Structure 1
Amino acid sequence: MKAYEIGPQSGLEGIRLVERDMPVPGRGEVAVKVHSACLNHRDMLTLKGQYGPLKAQDRIPLSDGVGSVVALGENIAGIATGQRVIAPNFVTWLGGKFTPEIFGQDLGISRDGWLAETIILPADAIIAVPDNVSDDVAATLAASGSTIWHCINIFGGLQKGDLVLTLGTGGVSILTLQIAKALGADFAITSSSNAKLDVCKDMGADYCVNYRENPGWATALMTETGGRGADIVVDTAGLNSIEQSIAACAPNGRIALIGGLSGQPEKAPQMGGIIGKNLTMKGITAGSRSMLCDVVDLISRENIEPLIDKKFTFGDSPAAFAYLESGDHMGKVMITF
């Protein structure tokens, strides 16, 4: 079978297409023929050697995907060949609280991911895809969806009418918009592009701020909301811009830190805003299988269609990474097989 490997992790040019033997599922495992896969920012960082320690050069990347079961290992019950499935990127985090051990089985990072014609997954990690959820939708959900659910529900304690704020218009931010609106929240979002903000408005965003036109975007947002701060912030930018997220919060707000797109912090955030507003900040590293199940149920029930910016063929996978790196995308970048 064909698969991509991350290679030396010296840049996007290091990814390589290889031939491998067809994988055979072991006890408690299933083989899955991949239909589609999606990229996340961490996949790009991995190819650059910027996502923790260097990985094995033969690691297969990508944490998000969908496929159909084609073979069963021993001791498998309740799963049939032909069944469409997805899985959380942390395949051993089935439920309960986070533990560091989950990093040992992280798809595309510490365990082979979705960018191959056939992959092996633990049977207890997979989730059946409902009939009314297409492959395009299902392929976007695993890492992003579970992370969002962890941020706004498990940590954020979302209540109907809360104001949720997210930064930028990448795949996580746009899916956050769709999930939060489906749960009855008000929504605010930032971008450097007015055209992208117009799309967000059409998708239901209540407040939109261009951070390039308004470097002090938190003040601009407060003006637009009439002084109402965000109850929950899904912060993809990181500590280099955390002062703005703090300023944009309502008293007792919750800030979920899930990324570092703004780079390394130049200075530590001021404690005054955190203490003065009684804010809670938490790092979120994706979510469990249980959380992803809740996302799939919501997506199926509400017929949510995540925004897919552009599709690439399996053979053109390197171009998909380059497009993600360009930052021109809005929503998800997909690879189809």
Structure 2
Amino acid sequence: MINTFEKNWFRYKGGLRATILALLYCQLTYFGGIALILSLNPTLMITGTLAMAHGMVIAAYMIHECGHNAVFKSPHHNAWLGSALNWLTGGCYGTYDDLRANHMKHHVDNVDAVTFDYRSYLARHPTQFKIVKALEWLYIPAVELLMHTVLMFAPFLFKEKEDQQLRVMGIIVVRFGLLLGVFLYSPFAYACYLLAYAIFLTVLRFMDALQHNYEYIVAVDSNFHLIEHKGDRNYEQSHTFSNPISINHPWLNLVTLNFGYHNAHHAKPTTPWHELPKLHKSLYANEATSIIPFRQQLLSFHKNRVARVIGDDSETRSNEFAQRLQNGSAVGANGVSFLTSF
């Protein structure tokens, strides 16, 4: 009976067990984390903050799975689950359909496409630029916070999203009402939520920063002539890099739901998260040319945390980017999360 249910509803064999485990984990850590934070016991609050942050991380990567229709057979069921989980990540101000469409452009067009160019915005506002750089130096994910803030107000900033204004106003009332309730209950509990959210954003952008040296394209819908490598699979693989936490201890990569096997993901984007280690091994065996050692990931993230605010456009054209990844000197990208759908 279980096998029949899995066969009828889930896209891949093993999907039922993997999905149940991932969803149970992210719900337990998210809502269990909230309960621990609200206990106001200092030790439990610290534990709850870390648990909640990781629950959001797993929820985000499950949304990514849904976006590739890698969970259920029905796109409708993937969309329903992805939309529900997006409430946990705070990305629900944007629609799931917009999120998915924007991420598919990333896969098809082989670019990092944005509607809001935060880099030119900061260049026009020197004071805000200085504040952002100072916050980034302190390891506060200011760029991601800016992008998520713009996501919240996108229907009031971009004409093509005006039809979402009422929807977003309703979401703002609900989410900010809940946050106000937490703050009134305890400012310390509110601070724990903010810290959990900052940790969550930091994990996502840590994983995103070095996975590609794609071109950064603004307003891609009206600039198709700028896309030079659309559908070019050789370009895609040569400009994609894998950043697993560990190759020798694959279970550690479950911390980010195997998102670090990024070359394998781009080779076969509908492969579910629980099959990516096997796919990576079959495609690349022991090749290390596209794998970034974890120590170098940390080194690059630390050394270039301020430089990454604007980035280094030369890296999109440089043949030395792979070498920079190996010695920890790569700058990488910022503000390219799949959760910010604009």
Higher helix share: 2
Higher strand share: 1
TM-score above 0.5, yes or no = no
Query: Given the two structures, how large is their TM-score scaled by the length of structure 1?
Result: 0.29
Q: Which has the higher contact order (CA 8 A, sep 6+)?
A: 2
With normalisation by structure 2, the TM-score equals 0.29
